[in-house]
Amino acid sequence: MRLIISLVFIFLALQVFSQTKKQSSKTDSKAPVETESKAAIDPTTEQTANVNPMVQHFYDKYVTALQWNDYEVAKDALYDLIIENPQNDSLIYNLALYYYENQKYVSAVLVCQPLLSRNPKNTAALEISAVGYETMGVPDRALQNYESLYLLTNNLTTLYKMAFLQYDLKRFTESLASIDIILANTELDKSNVVYNDSGTKPKQYPMKVSVLNLKGLIQLEHMGDKAAAKKLFDEALAISSDFLPAKQNLDRVK
């Protein structure tokens, strides 16, 4: 919620001082420098003389709603601002972020569509769409967005997500290729994931443990190679002996 407040203020600091409703340039959803977010409308300055009255009204509504901790009304004001500025990607992204942070993933994904149609390389919108589709149980669309995101960012966690989605979609060859890239990545040893331990409490484990376990599953279920699968499960447990998925899978090949 803090991020949406900051980003919208950044936009408004730029928008309310404009003399006409110019279309904003299409940017990559990253916030401008922090100092801009602290700008405010000062009715005593000449700069506000030609501010669009509707934009000023919706801005005041937005600020007042935030002051009174009413995020639903603030969201409504954001919609009003988008109607007045339909080409402004910053506003639309902030609406998508609002829905994402409030776990309204269908709306978050839908709001991201115009952003991605205008700029398919919008990494922030791609990430929201990918997570949204994944949470909604649409793995093929989630994978599509993760793949586009990975090509732009080369992010290890994104590739990790891809490997599991490829496995779920039975695209085993692709999943193995993703796994091998992950295992060769020098950043792997610094990366962790969260799984429940044997006591069903969330616990951090090295990402490598989860990746080895996934590779073992593919060897077992797709390749039919129990020996290779057992070796991978053993390797995972040598790193984290309490990693429950690997322990359960190891029992399957004994």
Dist. CA 11–CA 65, nearest whole Å:
17
Residue 19 predicted with pLDDT over 80: no
Q: Does the model's pTM come out above 0.85?
A: no
Which pLDDT score is estimated for 50? 61
Q: How high is the pLDDT of residue 63?
A: 87
Model confidence at 162: pLDDT above 50: yes
Largest CA distance in the chain: 79
- Which string of b and e fits 149-183 if b means at least 16 CB within 10 Å? bbeeeeebebbbbbbbbbbeeebbebbbebbeebe
181 φ/ψ angles, rounded to the nearest 5 degrees: -65, -40
Nearest-5° angle of CA 36, CA 40, CA 51?
Answer: 110
pLDDT at 190: 95
Hey, what domains does the chain have and what are their CATH numbers?
A: 1-153 (1.25.40.10), 169-254 (1.25.40)
How far apart (Å, rounded) are the C-alpha atoms in residues 131 and 142?
7
> Of the given ranges (61-65, 167-171, 187-191, 217-221), which has the lowest mean pLDDT?
61-65
Cα–Cα distance, 162 to 142 (Å, whole number): 9
Task: Supply the mean pLDDT for the chain.
Answer: 84
